[in-house]
Structure 1
């Protein structure tokens, strides 16, 4: 992750502040709701291992990993020590915007996910009051030192890797100032109604699609097929008149 000079030395420390706790509450609620409906056998959370965003998942094997001392699984997100097609769910909570290699991370995630596997990403929205604040202040400290990725750009990256975006959601509409965070109920309801795409954070649920094979059958020439097929012999189905003629012949033979 990017090395930033800040009172909070990591995003996890920033989540302990008032603005960070405000964002964390919405993120935890969204992850709890989303992972509950995803099934499979193996799930991985990359980054922020101190916060269990997989706690509500029904997947039996759940683990987290990051390049940090004390992590349950220490790894580099752009070189995952995981077999291809072995995971059913991967979470990327604010990992891409604080990484120097976001494209490499997405490529690795695509590799380790099985077909129809799910990827859930959370990120700070540059087209929001949080993004505006980042451009107006010195970009030091978390989360302002990160590179906020625009949603349309992220969708392009996912599309190139064969992902299909299934859901996009926004939250945290209040400005990133402590005096505004006491009136979040009014601001959140107004934001969801009047400017829904301007939340401070966004969530993207994408699914890995793998094109299936389709057997191409030859386009036969119907006229040629008719000529090549053998003609079945016609069965002699005697009509009513023929039956009467046969009966007369039998009677004549009997008299003779």
Structure 2
């Protein structure tokens, strides 16, 4: 995957069409994800974490311009240390997407968030990738598009819980702006009805760890026990007494002379 070809493609009208919608989704999706560490894997030319407020945000990628030069399938990040991982279009351009997901599962801390975007093979974009001309074999058409149900299965096997999936880019992938404009009604209909197959999907998942249970301090029970142990003075027939039972009642016998 050559960076230059990707940058050139995103400068086209179709690339701008896609980039505008992806940036809009990521801006909204990461804004309210809290924690300490967030990492964007791939595409260092674009800051998809710009609206996130975590103190440490960086991009890990094998291309020049990344904050950390690293392959996505072997991240130099400590295990269980990251609160958010964002992966834009990394799986469909990797020879081993399963290893990338395993690596992401490793670096994410329990209850950490994963946001993935990918090209949908069950769409007009996927059809163009299958039947496009050889000269169109660059980005993104040479990628191995992964169907959304398959990706959900992979994540479920890695103990992720799917929390949201969305789609965008319902218009056909025309290379001319005038045709994209004419078919803009498909974009609006797809977003409103949710029945059309978008060219790009977004998937949000949370890493779950089986057997974990959040233990909260039982402050109410502690205070209740303390109150029960403290004697409270009461006035009975003109004399002060406590709420403790009589001695005879405590030892289970009656005073002598009583039956």
So what's the TM-score if we normalise by structure 1? 0.79
Q: Which has the larger radius of gyration?
A: 1
Instruction: Work out the CA distance in 1 between the residues paired with 2:251 and 2:56.
Output: 68
So what's the TM-score if we normalise by structure 2? 0.79
The 8 Å contact of residues 9 and 142 in structure 1, kept in 2 or not, is answered as: no
Match among 233, 236, 239 for residue 253 of structure 2: 236
Q: Does 1:94 align with 2:89?
A: yes
What residue in structure 2 maps to residue 130 of structure 1? Answer: 125
Question: Deviation string for 1:187-236 (max 9, x for gaps)?
Answer: 2121224453501100000100011258xxxxxxxxxxxxxxxxxx9723
Between 1 and 2, higher relative CO (CA 8 Å, sep ≥ 6) is seen in: 1
Structure 2 gap segments, 5+ residues each: 214-249
Q: 1:40 to 1:197 in 2, by over 3 A?
A: farther
Matched residue SS, 1:13: helix
What residue in structure 1 maps to residue 53 of structure 2? Answer: 58
Matched residue SS, 1:117: strand
What residue in structure 1 maps to residue 205 of structure 2? Answer: 206
Q: 1:213 to 1:68 in 2, by over 3 A?
A: closer
Moved over 3 A (4+): 193-197
Matched residue SS, 2:155: helix
Instruction: Work out the CA distance in 2 between the residues paired with 1:138 and 1:127.
Output: 19
Matched residue SS, 1:198: coil
Matched residue SS, 2:166: strand
Instruction: Work out the CA distance in 1 between the residues paired with 2:29 and 2:109.
Output: 19
Structure 1 gap segments, 5+ residues each: 215-232, 246-256
Pairwise CA distance, 1:136: 1.5
Structure-to-structure mapping, 1:25-174, within 5 angstroms:
25-138=20-133, 140-174=137-171
What is the aligned-residue RMSD (CA, Å)?
2.2
